[in-house]
Structure 1
Amino acid sequence: MSYLTQLKTFVEVYRCGNITKAAVTLGMSQPAVTAHIQVIESLMGKTLFVRKARGVEPTPLANDLMLQVAGHIDQIEQRIESVRSRSQAVFGTLNVAGPAEYLSFMAGPQFANLLKSGEVNLVVHVGNKNRIYELLQSGVADLAITASLPDPAGYDYQIIDSETLLLVMHQQMATQFDAAAIDYQQLCQLPVVSYDHDLPLIRRYFELIYNQPCKSTVAAVIPDIRAIAAVVNAGVGYSVLPDYLYRDKLRFPHLVQVGAAGPENHIYLVWRKGALKQARIAFAKDMMMMHANLNRHSAGASTGEYAPPLLR
């Protein structure tokens, strides 16, 4: 006997944490949803959910079952929706969230490919990591671009690009040092310009290259990497920037790289689990992924190296 329908109901109840909400999402009655859960509980021989005042709480067995079946249920529904939507027009407004720096420097072709399809309108929301995930979680954003690895429990994703972190300073300041291998102690005597007080990009660079924390005095905290590049380009301190900003010599002609290239960050295209059931979002994801690895390929072209695609 097939239990596909009942398993789909189980997955929705698990994600909603509430039988009534799951019933609304599935277009079913509450008793029908309860009956589906009872069928799976009978099959498993144990209770899957404990009723609470404001919903249901999954048991350890439910957690295990969810881990085993949810991805397969989503894939089946995505395949069915993909076949169904091929003969249907995909219209509507798409909301995409992401960091202003990557969107303004690299995402133009990805957005253009989507808009040239003539099927959707586009609204872009910018913000930091917390803001991006707030927009995605609340449903305001359909897709998000972020350098932060998504939580696989709540999101699906693909790698859409990558960036290499580089240590940069004004060319005149760099003449004081051995640019190929600047000393850790020398660096710590210089002021640094950071995205926030936690020194996220700078901390990652120092951990990889020097295996020590950055001890520089923070000259400025600026939550916009483009503005950080402009300040350092004007001769204040140093910073760690994504390589695509460093390559913009028209805007930042005085920046020079010092020291070794730092770690590589993946850039992710992210969506809520189950979101690709909507043909509009699935279509937009595919259109944007057609221009994956824009920065990585640009970096390879600028160095004369071939950069193979990250996606498998």
Structure 2
Amino acid sequence: MSHQQFAAEEPPAAGGKRLPPHADLNLLRTFLGVYRAGSFTAAAPGLGLSQPTVTAQIRTLEQQAGWVLFTRLPRGVEPTPYAHELAAQIAGALDSLATLEDSGATAAPVHLAGPSELLCVRVLPALAPLVADGVQLRVTQGLPEPLLEEMRAGRQDLVITTRRPRGRALESVPLADEEYLLVANPAWAERVEGADEPCAALSAVPMVTYAEDLPILRRYWRTVFGKQLTARAAVTVPNLYAVLSAVNAGAGYSVLPRSLCEEYLHSGHLALLHDPEEPPLNTLFLVQRPGDNTNPDLVRVRDRLRQAALDW
């Protein structure tokens, strides 16, 4: 089989139509990339092409085949029945060819993204053995929606997010449940210890947060105390690491993920202010870039994260 031409296999596609007997291999690769990525934009980086080139190649293949392969949507594309049939015919052969072409080549870096604190405390320590074994990582921190948009554009391979992606273009699996704890410096904890009304006792303690709208604290109050949080922050800082630093130094109290503050609780630098029967949990999701990724290191990173998360 030529690297420039690909002979279609039987059976004929939907509606009795057949792939042109000698379709250009590059067009078929582009088609399969779009089919798996769900959009022209997301497919382009993985194909090493610009988005206009991807669009032009799909139009050429549609003209040659006499089929409409994709229905354009406001965001992405929807494969037609002809596209599903074509993908079934060519995917196995193209993947086998890609494996042969890539054999002996150095695996590409794995692009991984997620919340900065989780990356530092959980993710990078879990992946350190893979890095020592030759896996290359390109790690980005950020908020869920911008990171998922980067994935849709093909710039991220794996994203850990606290929100399940909307729509069907990105598939996710639950990775772990993150527990949130109400903590303070032991000196402040002594003032509220044994209080019948923890909320009332905490009104005299400064509050530390990373955002003015108090997202984590408000959720804790709502789910644990069944009340609306009315207090205002005494200190607002850029991120959860800064919250931890301020609370550890005695600036006040806050709600932090267990992964971030567990070491300080064990050492006695922080104290637990409240121990509910059911502390609030935040589910972490692992999202993988759409498509049949052939990078073996990506699979190793994904599987290692899933295994490590069992102990998180």
Structure-2-length-normalised TM-score: 0.68
Which of 113, 130, 134 does residue 114 from structure 1 map onto? 130
> What's the offset of the Cα at 1:2?
6.2
Kindly indicate whether residue 252 of structure 2 is the aligned counterpart of residue 237 of structure 1. Answer: yes
Kindly indicate whether residue 108 of structure 2 is the aligned counterpart of residue 92 of structure 1. Answer: yes
Which of 158, 166, 176 does residue 191 from structure 2 map onto? 176
Alpha carbons of structure 1 residues 25 and 160: separation in structure 2 relative to 1, 3 Å: farther
Q: Which residue of 1 aligns with 2:59?
A: 30
Q: Which residue of 2 aligns with 1:165?
A: 180
Distance 1:22 1:12 in 2: 15
Kindly indicate whether residue 184 of structure 2 is the aligned counterpart of residue 155 of structure 1. Answer: no
SS in 2 for 1:154: coil
Identity of matched residues, % = 24
Which of 266, 273, 281 does residue 298 from structure 2 map onto? 281
Asked which structure has the greater CA Rg, the reply is 2
Cα shift readout 1:260-281 (whole Å, capped 9, x = no counterpart): 2521112222223226355553
Distance 2:37 2:190 in 1: 63
Contact 2:116 2:141 in 1 (8 A): yes
Structure-1-length-normalised TM-score: 0.68
Alpha carbons of structure 1 residues 140 and 57: separation in structure 2 relative to 1, 3 Å: closer
Contact 1:206 1:212 in 2 (8 A): yes
Distance 1:220 1:36 in 2: 64
Cα shift readout 1:148-172 (whole Å, capped 9, x = no counterpart): 3222423222233321001111212
Structure 1: gaps spanning 5 or more residues = 41-47, 50-55, 296-312
Distance 1:179 1:247 in 2: 22
Contact 1:190 1:217 in 2 (8 A): no
Letter in 2 for 1:243: R
1:127-206 counterparts in 2 under 5 A? 127-179=142-194, 182-206=197-221
SS in 2 for 1:246: helix
How many residue pairs get aligned? The number is 273
SS in 2 for 1:268: strand
Q: Which residue of 2 aligns with 1:264?
A: 281
Distance 2:96 2:173 in 1: 18
Distance 1:266 1:137 in 2: 21
Structure 2: gaps spanning 5 or more residues = 1-10, 20-27, 44-48
Contact 1:167 1:262 in 2 (8 A): no
Q: Which residue of 2 aligns with 1:299?
A: none
